[in-house]
Amino acid sequence: MALKLNKVQKIILIFLILTSAVSWLFLSRQSGADNNNVMMRAMMLYDPVAISLFAASWTVGMAAMMFPAITPMALLYNRLIGGAAQRKKQTDENLMAEVKPKYGNKKSATIKLTLFVTCYLVVWALTGVALLLGWSIPLNPLLDGNGKQRQLVDTIFGVVLILSGLYQFSPLKTKCLGYCESPMSFFMRRWRNGVWGAVRMGAYHGLYCLGCCWPYFLLMVALGWMNLLWMGLFAAIIFGEKIWSRYGIWVARIAGTGFVITGLFTMVALITPQNNVNMQGSNSSSSNSINSQNIKDSKSNDNKMSDMKGMSFIIVSNDSSVAI
């Protein structure tokens, strides 16, 4: 049954889709090599500036990938808070009291919806930083290792893929997906009134969405954040899960089967999905490669340059004395 949208809901729909489109355009114009550089500095050096840049980029990516999928939730929330305001207005017997709150009710509904979506994004922004730093723990010691360590990297990637695939069949995945693909069920269980209620419900929805989709984003960090191919693939899977209400779980399970098969192939070295991830920029070759030694050398060179600045006067003075 088609949902009839009023003027405000049409504006919300256009805004969410437009924001997603602009975010995709922004991400497509970013250099893959530069993005991997930022990601690797954040992982290996725990550089606060690099971590902040990654968090900002991640949040833009979340808007690009997730806003189309959360559109039904946002539209229903707007309808519910708008309906509550309308019922309150109709029960007021004083005509002046009916006229005065009209603008205030619309403004309040806009604030609540904005807080709902913002808190949802905050949950995902924090998740992105946690996934990045968590992934750095097993990977950092192995990036510039020997052949055996590289085999261990393949094994780690394979295990991550297999675990992500198996999670798609878990009861927790099914429960979280149920709330994500059925907005009414979510609001019936988690409804809270007021502005603070919008904050809490936005956070709750973010957590349910996290429980539903975290494997995709762990894999995106592992496979190379800002890789538009992986982003597009996972965005399509997430959209199918959340919008195709009766069969979304089968979309998840088909994806999970693919992850398990890919993980097994990775563990036996038939494929190496991480070869163009984290080790090199998306635009090519070994000249763009980034590893821990490169970053350490760069840091060491910075220190040397700093020392050279302090020595420059002595060197010039010595040259001058010789010239005289």
Residue ranges per domain, the chain? 14-282
Whether 6 contacts 72, CB under 8 Å: no
| C-alpha 159, offset from chain centre | 22
What mean pLDDT do residues 152-159 have?
84
Q: Which of 84-88, 217-221, 313-317: highest mean pLDDT? A: 217-221
Residue 282 C-beta-side C-alpha neighbours within 13 Å? 17
Distance CA 29, CA 207 (A): 30
Whether 243 contacts 74, CB under 8 Å: no
- Amino acid residing at 233: L
Listed residue (109, 88, 89) closest to 99, CA to CA: 89
Task: List CB contacts of 12: < 8 A, sequence separation 6 or more.
Answer: 71, 74, 75, 78, 113
The pLDDT of residue 140 is 75
pLDDT in tens, 74-127: 999 999 987 654 444 444 444 344 444 444 567 788 899 999 999 999 999 999
The pLDDT of residue 221 is 83
- How many residues comprise the chain? 324
Whether 60 contacts 27, CB under 8 Å: yes
Task: List CB contacts of 202: < 8 A, sequence separation 6 or more.
Answer: 115, 116, 117, 118, 119, 120, 123
Three-state DSSP at 234 gives helix
Q: Which helix (H) or strand (E) holds 293?
A: helix 292-323
Listed residue (150, 125, 155) closest to 51, CA to CA: 125
Confidence of residue 34 (pLDDT cuts 50, 70, 90): low
pTM of the model: 0.73
Whether 188 contacts 297, CB under 8 Å: no
Question: What average pLDDT is seen over the chain?
Answer: 76
> Picking from 59-68, 97-106, 214-223, 282-291, which range would have the lowest pLDDT averaged per residue?
282-291
- Amino acid residing at 119: C
The pLDDT of residue 197 is 94
The pLDDT of residue 33 is 66
Confidence of residue 216 (pLDDT cuts 50, 70, 90): very high
